């Protein structure tokens, strides 16, 4: 089992968990109660959702492509890390 990969995943999951807690604060907005309509809460929601998406998606080089025309990955996102983790798990099961 790849400890480095597990460490990367654990770090990103911890960051995502904090963001999700912050995102959950937007639930206090009630469409029937103008007293709860807070633009700062919505601004924070937008910022936190953007950060959550950054954690989930790969960070790609904006201009460079590899030999197959695919974008060069600068940093793997959580989705790719999880795919890699489960792929390694399947490969390990095949060898057992």
For 64, other C-beta atoms within 10 Å of its C-beta total 9
Q: How many CB atoms lie within 10 A of CB 76?
A: 18
pLDDT in tens, 26-82: 888 899 999 888 889 899 999 999 999 999 999 999 999 999 999 999 999 999 999
Tokens of 70: 């695919």
pLDDT at 46: 95
Distance of alpha carbon 80 from alpha carbon 50, whole angstroms: 18
The pLDDT of residue 1 is above 60:
no
């Amino acid at each position: 089992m790849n400890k480095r990969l597990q460490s990367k995943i654990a770090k990103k999951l911890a960051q995502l968990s904090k963001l999700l807690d912050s995102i959950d604060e937007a639930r206090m907005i009630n469409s029937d109660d103008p007293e709860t309509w807070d633009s700062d809460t919505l601004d924070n929601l937008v910022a936190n959702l953007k950060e959550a998406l950054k954690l989930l998606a790969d960070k790609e080089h904006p201009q460079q492509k590899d030999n197959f025309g695919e974008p060069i990955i600068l940093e793997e996102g959580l989705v790719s890390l999880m795919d890699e983790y489960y792929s390694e798990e399947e490969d390990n099961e095949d060898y057992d």
